[in-house]
Amino acid sequence: MFEWIYSPEAWIALVTLTSLEIVLGIDNIIFISILVSRLPEHQRDSARIIGLSLAMITRLLLLLSLAWMMRLTEPLFTVLAQDISGRDLILIVGGLFLLWKSAQEIWESLEGEEDTETGKPGAAVASYGMVLVQIAIIDIVFSLDSVITAVGMVDIIPVMVIAIVIAVAIMMLAAKPIGEFVDRHPSIKMLALSFLILVGVVLLGEGLDLHVPKGYVYFAMAFAFAVEMINIRMRKKRAEPVHLHKTIPGEKGD
């Protein structure tokens, strides 16, 4: 069981898989951060931890159910000459859920009820239980993608389990700073929601056997994020007070 400890290939696979799990978990962190921002301040930290714990448990349960997961690729029914498997069904439902939830969040941010304190449009406060239910639902979708990646890369179950646990632990540490950054910059939230719409479309495509190269998707996201970071820096620089040099009476000018 522990023979892999003495294998350099296993350790390389562990590092690679952990890195990929973290990358695949970034969209999960963003989604959780957006949902948690709907809660009162004192409930946000516990919701993040519980949400990511649900993500880890879901990944581990799917991972330990390899036989069931492998059967997900078998066709369940056919629609318009398109075979639909259990995996396809989960991806399609998950994609539709992401599209609906992201569009709802964008609408409420732009046209939602006014904040009672500021008088500006703001999102309604959600219930703690409802937020956790939504996190649990989307965790299933993201976990499927993550576990399929793990199974495709490594055939040593302990390595998969350790990689997932390490990745989720790092995500727990990063969730709060990412959430606070998103809260401080509404434009980042809009960009993140746009990313989630893109992920939803990709999930729909995967479920309908229309494979979109992930490299293109990640490049588009990285490019858009880099442009937005430049915009934030420019806005911050313009907002800084300009200290004009004033000539003191009696002092020689240039």
- The answer, yes or no, to whether residue 24 has pLDDT greater than 70, is no
The two tokens of residue 141 are 């979708």
Q: Report the distance separating Cα 227 and Cα 87, nearest Å.
A: 35
pLDDT, tens digit, 9 for 90 and up, residues 169-191: 888 887 778 777 777 777 877 88
| Between residues 71 and 226, the one the model is more confident about | 226
What percentage of the chain has pLDDT greater than the value 90?
0
- Among positive and negative, which fits the CA dihedral 224, 225, 230, 235? positive
pLDDT, tens digit, 9 for 90 and up, residues 127-168: 888 888 888 777 777 776 667 666 656 667 788 788 888 888
Query: Which amino acid, 29?
Result: I
Hey, where are the domains in the chain? 3-72+82-239
Quote the pLDDT of residue 112.
60
* Lowest model confidence (mean pLDDT) among 1-5, 72-76, 118-122, 195-199: 118-122
Q: Report the distance separating Cα 99 and Cα 94, nearest Å.
A: 9
Bridge-partner residues for 121, per DSSP?
114
- The answer, yes or no, to whether residue 193 has pLDDT greater than 50, is yes
pLDDT, tens digit, 9 for 90 and up, residues 226-254: 898 898 888 888 877 654 444 555 555 54
Residue 31: CB atoms within 10 A of its CB come to: 26
What percentage of the chain has pLDDT greater than the value 70?
78
Q: Report the distance separating Cα 213 and Cα 147, nearest Å.
A: 18
Q: Cβ neighbours of residue 89 under 8 Å, at least 6 residues apart?
A: 76, 207
* Lowest model confidence (mean pLDDT) among 7-11, 93-97, 159-163, 197-201: 7-11
pLDDT, tens digit, 9 for 90 and up, residues 197-217: 887 888 788 888 888 777 777
Quote the pLDDT of residue 151.
61
Q: What is the dihedral of CA 138, 133, 180, 44, to 10 degrees?
A: -160
Helix then strand then coil, % of the chain, to nearest 5:
75, 5, 20
Exposure class string for 58-91: b at 16+ Cβ within 10 A, else e = bbbebbeeeeebeebeeeeeeeeeeebbbbbebb
For the segment 31-58, the average pLDDT, to the nearest whole number, is 82
For the segment 34-57, the average pLDDT, to the nearest whole number, is 83
Quote the pLDDT of residue 250.
54
For the segment 76-96, the average pLDDT, to the nearest whole number, is 80
- The answer, yes or no, to whether residue 7 has pLDDT greater than 70, is yes
